[in-house]
Amino acid sequence: MAKRITIDPITRIEGHLRIDVEVDNNAVSNAWASCTMWRGIEKILQGRDPRDAWLFTQRFCGVCTTVHAMASVRAVEDALKIDVPANAQYIRNLILIAHALHDHIVHFYHLSALDWVDVLQIPKADPAAASKLAESLSPWTRNSRNELKTAQDRVKAVASSGQLGIFANGYWGHPAMRLSPEVSLLAFSHYVQALEYQRKALQVVGLLGSKTPHIQNLTVGGVANAIDLDSPAALGMNQLEQIRSLLAEVSRFVQEVYFVDVCAVAAMYPEWFRIGSGVRNYLAVPDLPLDSAGSAYDLPGGYIRSGDLQGVKAFKSPSDPIFRQSVTEDVIHAYYKSDKALHPWEGETEPDFTGWNGDQKYTWVKAPRFNGEPMQVGPLAQVLIGYAQGHPLTRKYASLALEKVSAIGGVQATPDMLHSTLGRHAARAIRACMLAELAQKHWQLLVDNISKGDYAVHNQPVLPSHEVQGVGTHEAPRGTLSHWVVIKDEKIKNYQAVVPSTWNASPRDRAGSHGPYEASLLHTPLARPEEPLEVLRTVHSFDPCMACACHAFDPSGRKIGVVKVL
């Protein structure tokens, strides 16, 4: 008989995601993804000035501040039909790239790596052998025996004090853990270095955005950065040079460390290229506009149905009518009132909490659908859609990744294997390499444009009195983010944010189709059902983020059960 396991919550960093799986013969036979906390933040935007919306939306979530700010100004600009000066596009693009690089590095090293790396193996490693292995994989200069020995000593010290503290919530010694001590040590040493490089990426966000975590330089119609090449107080050569050098350092880390580590881990767990696929419909929107009007983009968008790469459809821009018209949200299994799937401009957010019931309502997440179908979003969607369209930059790094995995693992890695748990990690590393390369390009575009004597950063928005609607998108680290706004009498009449984790963590819809998290877990084999590491691996590969909610530290220090076997 099937038994049900509840994991509550599943994210290492952001709470509120609960996963229920039914296990039969040591494999997942059914799954439910649910968010345990109501957001409803969109409602507080109604009646406010649309030019202020971004200040509020960037407080939705503490991890994704920048992306919500950006999608919001873009939504209002779309509604008001105003262009953004080229400088503003490039400055925004650089912020988005730096934020995404930070986010991808954190995701892999600080959120997911511990699903694959057994910390208890590290003390057994031979630092010299690990260093030799590293040098065969990458030109990175910080893989010396000494550097690795220092990292190992840190783990030994922590382990011998009996306080594995930071790692206390991992499944150590689990039979599904299989990396050699040397690879584990390398990964750990890079975990430590990653802290340094993700911080450099955030420094770029801070330099351009004037503050982090909450950037201050946005405004509907452009950015608020004063450009003056000779002034140290404004965005001038001093700051630009600092930004260039930080981006170069982060890019090297991404290409020589993060990308290589993902390929190495992937090569050692090849069966995970066959697990965790689930929904093979993919969606991404174009991003990184190249001109003021947004007529060309550096990152492609479109959609794929049922894993059919040949049948890929492209979006020319985020205002492609097919994208704008095809999104709905269904709440039949979510704690909201409404009896039909609604387009976000008509969207409602009326709570109707009934408690968890897997056959009826069981989550606060709505079910976004594209032409009525669930879609997987995120780096895998971004990479597959680019790859299918023959996008050169996507092809370049996707091919590099497949070659590297093949070489390390002695297997023949093919694009088809990307529909999987490891495919998501590989795609995130591929995307990060693409962004690292584009960082240099957009920096140069900005500098060249300023050098031509163009200092414009802002177009004045004019609010019409009649009703207008707009959508602002950003292809964020976790996937397609869209903010939908309706403006009337210079005030926000309706506002809906369809966020990446809503697409991926969505519940079943009225047709009974699972959301991507749920579908990806079906048939997953579990070595020890009471320690469902395999479930965590797949869910973490989506980089779940259910933040968008508050909560308070509980100083009583009560331990609350992590896994319940029902």
Partner 1 sequence: MKTVLIAGVGNVLLGDDAIGPYVIRLLESQYSFAEEVEVCDLGTPSLDLTHRIIGLRTLILVDAVASDDPPGTIVLCRKEDIIREGPGQRVDPHSPALAECLLAAEMLGAAPEDVLLVGVVGGSYEAGKPLSEPVRQSAELAIKAILAELSAIGLESTKQKSAIEPSTWWVDSPRTREMPLPSSRQ
- Residue numbers annotated as active site: 14, 61, 64, 68, 478, 501, 545, 548
Closest approach, Cβ 551 to partner 1, in A, equals 3
User: Bridge-partner residues for 564, per DSSP?
Assistant: 6
Nearest CB to partner 1, comparing residues 1 and 552: 552
Quick check: 550 binds partner 1 (CB under 8 A)? yes
Quick check: 557 binds partner 1 (CB under 8 A)? yes
Quick check: 234 binds partner 1 (CB under 8 A)? yes
Q: How far is CA 166 from CA 110, 155, 531, 548, in A?
A: 11, 11, 19, 24
Quick check: 488 binds partner 1 (CB under 8 A)? no
Contact 106, 193 (CB under 8 A): no
Amino acid, res. 94: L
Closest approach, Cβ 548 to partner 1, in A, equals 8
* Residues numbered 392-421 forming contacts with partner 1, rule: CB under 8 A: none
Strands 297-299 and 301-304 come out as unpaired
As a whole number of Å, the end-to-end CA separation of the chain is 12
* Residues numbered 457-476 forming contacts with partner 1, rule: CB under 8 A: 457-458
Quick check: 334 binds partner 1 (CB under 8 A)? no
Quick check: 111 binds partner 1 (CB under 8 A)? yes
* Residues numbered 236-275 forming contacts with partner 1, rule: CB under 8 A: none
Residue 416, number of CB atoms within 10 A of its CB: 12
Q: Which of 106, 148, 250, 334 binds partner 1 (CB under 8 A)?
A: 106
* Residues numbered 138-167 forming contacts with partner 1, rule: CB under 8 A: 154, 158, 165-166
* Residues numbered 264-323 forming contacts with partner 1, rule: CB under 8 A: none
Quick check: 551 binds partner 1 (CB under 8 A)? yes
Closest approach, Cβ 308 to partner 1, in A, equals 37
Quick check: 123 binds partner 1 (CB under 8 A)? no
Calculate the CA dihedral of residues 458, 217, 42, 65 and round it to 10 degrees.
Answer: 140
User: Bridge-partner residues for 243, per DSSP?
Assistant: none
Q: Which of 144, 216, 292, 326 binds partner 1 (CB under 8 A)?
A: 216
- Interhelix angle 259-268/421-451, rounded to 10 degrees, is 170
CA separation for the pair 258, 77 (Å, rounded): 36
Closest approach, Cβ 222 to partner 1, in A, equals 8
Amino acid, res. 522: L
Choices 52-60, 124-132, 135-143, 469-477 (CB under 8 A): range interacting with partner 1: 52-60
3-state secondary structure 103-164: HHHHHHHHHHHHHCCCHHHHHHCCHHHHHHHHHHHCCCCCCCHHHHHHHHHHHHHHHHCCCC
HSE-up (13 A, CA, CB side) for residue 363: 32
Pattern 186-205, partner 1, x by CB under 8 A: ------x--x--xx--x---
Closest approach, Cβ 48 to partner 1, in A, equals 6
Quick check: 171 binds partner 1 (CB under 8 A)? no
* Residues numbered 55-74 forming contacts with partner 1, rule: CB under 8 A: 55-56, 59-63, 65
CA separation for the pair 322, 129 (Å, rounded): 54
Closest approach, Cβ 7 to partner 1, in A, equals 8
Cβ within 8 Å of residue 515, ≥6 positions away? 33, 279, 365, 367, 374, 503, 504, 505, 506, 507, 508
Quick check: 213 binds partner 1 (CB under 8 A)? yes
Quick check: 361 binds partner 1 (CB under 8 A)? no
- Residue identified by tokens 């414009």 is 456
Q: Which of 322, 342, 447, 456 binds partner 1 (CB under 8 A)?
A: 456
Nearest CB to partner 1, comparing residues 195 and 565: 195
